[in-house]
Chain A
Amino acid sequence: MKNRLKVLRAERDWSQQALADLLEVSRQSVNAIETGKYDPSLPLAFRIADLFALPIEEIFIRN
């Protein structure tokens, strides 16, 4: 599944580590999600959506 996480993070000038700290996950997890290697669970996807104050479907894009 594609996502706009890297773009959204860049818009806020956050590093992967900063985003990881906000989400309380590892930087490696953020990297895996951004690069599409890992699709987050629904609870984590909601946490990401809440953090960016966007609906999930504006962050994660169906293939």
Chain B
Amino acid sequence: MTGTKFGLAGRRAWIWAIAFTGGALLIAWAEQAGVIAPPWNWLAIFVVALTIIPLARATSNRQRACGSLSPAMQRYNNRTLAWALAYVAGVAIAVIARDRLEPEGPLLWAIAILPALPILYMIWTMGRYLVEETDEYQKMRQVQAALAGLGVLLAVATFVGFLQTFANIPATAAWWAVPVWAIGMGLYQLFRALTERAEVER
């Protein structure tokens, strides 16, 4: 394995990851702050959604380059692409329906939980990967990343929770839990990738 092969593929994946995460956080902030109006919020969601496809491809390429793309990981990547696209589509449909239909009652509830459904599939995807992965080292790495994400989520939730209780900062929507967990997981994987770059086979 040469550094060139590893480096190029790796860097490309992280550029897309940063683009997707940054875009998603920006849209979430703009929505909450009310500084983005239709149709620009729909367009922004669509543009951010498109970055998921190159992100998924670059991630698979990087895993293939560093010898960690097992069949189970390939299925996990495919399922992740499916739930990520479904999640963005769910958010987009919920936002458009809220803006256009001004729903009430059961319809409002149905629209509100629409983006949450792909997250259930995401949780199943994580569990399924751990069942299907036969490579014990890869499995351990995924569990470590998930635990790191959980640690970040618990720390942020506790920190924000006490600020809300004692400093009266504005309430935060509970759906932030998954993005914060995923960011924590991503940061851990980035940290591992950077620390292991020098250790690839020469």
Using a CB–CB distance below 8 Å, which chain A residues touch chain B? 15-17, 20, 24-29, 31-33, 35, 37-38, 40-41, 44
Q: How far is the CB of B10 from chain A (nearest CB, A)?
A: 13
- CB-nearest residue of chain B relative to A16? B201
Known contacts A25-B135, A26-B135; A17/B140 CB under 8 A:
no
Query: Interface on B for A, CB 8 Å cutoff?
Result: 1, 66-70, 134-138, 140, 199-201
A28–B69 alpha-carbon span in the complex (Å): 9
Complex alpha-carbon distance, A19 and B79, angstroms: 29
Contact between chains at B201 and A26 (CB < 8 Å) = no
Contact of A26 among B70, B199, B200 (CB under 8 A): B70
Besides A15-B201, A24-B134, 8 other A-B contacts (C-beta < 8 A): A26-B68, A28-B66, A28-B68, A28-B137, A29-B136, A29-B138, A31-B200, A37-B199
Give the residues in chain B near A27, CB-CB below 8 Å.
Answer: 1, 66-68, 201
Q: Which single member of B1, B70, B137 contacts A32 (CB below 8 Å)? A: B137
Residue ID in chain B nearest A37 by CB atoms: B199
The smallest C-beta distance from B78 to any residue of chain A, in angstroms, reads 18
With a cutoff of 8 Å between Cβ atoms, the chain A residues found around residue B135 in the complex are 25-26, 29
